[in-house]
Amino acid sequence: MEHDRLFIGGGWAAPHSTARIPVISPTSEQPLGSVPDADEADVNSAVSAARAAFDDPGGWAHWEPARRAEALNRFADALETRSGRIARQVTAQSGMPITISESVEGRTPAFLLRHAAGLITREPLERVQERADSTGSTLIRHDPVGVVGAIAPWNFPQSLAAFKYASALAAGCTVVLKPSPETVLDSVLLADAAMEAGLPAGVMNIVYGGAEAGSALVAHRDVDKIGFTGSTAVGRLIAENCARLLRPVTLELGGKSAGVVLDDVDVGAVVNSPAFSAMTMFNSGQTCWASTRILAPRSRYAEIVEAMASMMDGLVVGDPFDPGTQVGPMVSEKHRTRVENHIRGGAAEGARLVTGGGRPRHMDKGWFVEPTLFADVDNASAIAQEEIFGPVLCVIPYEDDADAVRLANDSSYGLSGSVWTGDTDRGIAVARRVRTGVFSVNGKRTDLGAPFGGEKNSGLGRELGTEGLASYQRLQSIFM
């Protein structure tokens, strides 16, 4: 797909920049298409359109919530009619197995738009409360925060963009979305859907670009809030810029979450369950919340390592368009090199390579990495502390539940985690003691209506649910 426009001010606008972003298939290594690579002037145009739409006295920000909700539901309808094409485009660009693209990327944005539309019509935007000193009353108002700069990564390009724009639009904000350069083609379909839904001009804008466009958006004086998902390194840079500008920012960053297997489980049943492989290896390991550090009780350590090796060896690696494929390629050649460097580093640090470690022999093209398992890993080693973002797991022994909690918390990250047990209450007791933003008991995955986000190097703030919506609102107290 060759595309020569940016989505600005409600239509396709010719870019100022003459540079292009080529998109390469990670499976065939062949070009898939290209889009304009927005420069600062293009970002300025998009922000101006969003600013004008936000400042319109009778515009989007001032519509009754029910009217905005209707528009969001139309946007969801328009996305749903394109869900198959969106899923295929995501798989083509990123190598995401098609079953995941269809179930997550094809569905989540519409779900989130409908959910946010429901929240904005249900949650009161104003309330009157008695003054604390009982001498009158105060009106407390929730207004939209303003123009939002939304910056998304490549690993779930549609869903993670929607984590931001669904809440922001529902709150009455206007949005400039910058997708990741690796996955820009699917956002052409997103723009088509926004147009078909009849969102007013400038309410939703999309600029393709990389770090230059992203930095211009973060620093723009007419942007009121930044919502970012991506790496910790870039998130820290954005936080520094937002701190200087005193600009609110939500950061969803990296993770290195623990999967705690308690000693009461049926190891074979747990490790071979679809929930366990999804929690550890979803999207070929390119998932921020994946449990990639498996903590195994010493009493059952050998049994767990053996079951995991057989689970990893059984995963189907191949063409991501084949519905039977469980592990596709890494998103880019550069990213595969990064994953392979981590694998080499793990072996050099003395971890025991149980299975994998190379490239699958049956794939002669594409940026594939074999599902790789390390055992006897020291939790202090780089392979246990650094995010790899590929199909690589490590198994670390622990002594008792308290030791497992200590190891789970011994990480600079704090995004997610999981516990596997025959006793849900025991699992919840472990979950309560782990300092992460989300946690799963026995493979229950993310609830799209609950706050989502991380602690420590995993980020700041929360997306989704009422708390996510609130992050796109500003508060005003009027003393009466």
Instruction: Write out the catalytic residue numbers.
Output: 252, 288
- 21 belongs to the binding site for ligand NAD (CB under 6 A): no
Amino acid at 255: G
Residue in 213, 173, 169 with CA at minimum distance from that of residue 194: 169
Q: Which range, of 42-50, 147-155, 187-195, 470-478, touches ligand NAD by CB under 6 A? A: 147-155
Would you count residue 471 as binding ligand NAD (CB under 6 A)?
no
Instruction: Say whether residue 154 binds ligand NAD (CB under 6 A).
Output: yes
Return the residue of 33, 144, 254, 417 that touches ligand NAD, per CB under 6 A: 254
| Distance of alpha carbon 448 from the chain centroid | 12
Burial 173-188 (b: 16+ CB within 10 A, else e): bbbbbbbbbbbbbbbb
- The torsion angle over the Cα atoms of residues 73, 74, 80 and 86, rounded to 10 degrees, is -110
Contact positions with ligand NAD (CB under 6 A) in 314-373: none
Q: Is 39 in the site for ligand NAD (CB under 6 A)?
A: no
Q: How many residues line the site for ligand NAD (CB under 6 A)?
A: 31
Q: Is 285 in the site for ligand NAD (CB under 6 A)?
A: no
Q: Does 214 contact ligand NAD by CB under 6 A?
A: yes
454 binds ligand NAD per the rule CB under 6 A: yes
Q: Taking CB under 6 A as the rule, does residue 42 contact ligand NAD?
A: no
CA 473 to CA 456: how far, in whole Å? 24
Tokens of 288: 């921020």
Rounded CA gap, 332 and 474, in Å? 39
The single residue among 15, 65, 146, 153 that binds ligand NAD, judged by CB under 6 A, is 153
User: Which amino acid, residue 148?
Assistant: V
- Shorter beta-carbon distance to ligand NAD: residue 305 or 327: 327
Q: Compute the residue count for the chain.
A: 480
459: β partners: 252
Among 128, 211, 269, 428, binds ligand NAD (CB under 6 A): 211
3 state DSSP class of 59: coil
- Min dist CB 48 to ligand NAD, Å, is 19
- Identify which range of 115-123, 248-256, 348-356, 373-381 contacts ligand NAD by CB under 6 A: 248-256
**Non-local CB neighbours of 402 within 8 Å, separated by 6+ positions:** none
- Piece of the chain touching ligand NAD by CB under 6 A; list 21-29, 122-130, 214-222, 398-406: 214-222
DSSP string for residues in 265-315: S-HHHHHTSHHHHHHHHGGGG--TT-EEEEEEEGGGHHHHHHHHHHHHHHS
How far apart are CB 387 and ligand NAD at their closest, in Å?
A: 6
**By C-beta, is 288 or 369 nearer to ligand NAD?**
288
Distance CA 244, CA 251 (A): 16
Q: Which two tokens stand for residue 194?
A: 């926004």
CB of 94 to ligand NAD, least distance (A): 10
Binders of ligand NAD among residues 171 to 190 (CB under 6 A) are 178, 180-181
Told to check if 275 binds ligand NAD by CB under 6 A, we report: no
Q: Could you give the angle at the alpha carbon of 210 between the alpha carbons of 209 and 213, nearest 5°?
A: 65
Out of 37, 39, 319, 387, the only residue in the binding site for ligand NAD (CB under 6 A) is 387
- For position 459 contacting ligand NAD by CB under 6 A, the verdict is yes
Q: Which two tokens stand for residue 440?
A: 């799963």
Q: Are 106 and 446 spatial neighbours (Cβ–Cβ below 8 Å)?
A: no
By the rule CB under 6 A, 252 interacts with ligand NAD:
yes
Query: Site mask, ligand NAD, residues 95-114, x = CB under 6 A?
Result: --------------------
For ligand NAD, give the closer residue by CB, 165 or 398.
165
Q: In the bound complex, which residue of the shown chain has the CB atom lying closest to ligand NAD?
A: 214
Pairing type for strands 352-355 and 473-479 reads unpaired
Q: Which residues bind ligand NAD (CB under 6 A)?
A: 151-155, 160, 178, 180-181, 210-211, 214-215, 218, 229-231, 234, 237-238, 252-255, 288, 387, 389, 415, 454, 458-459
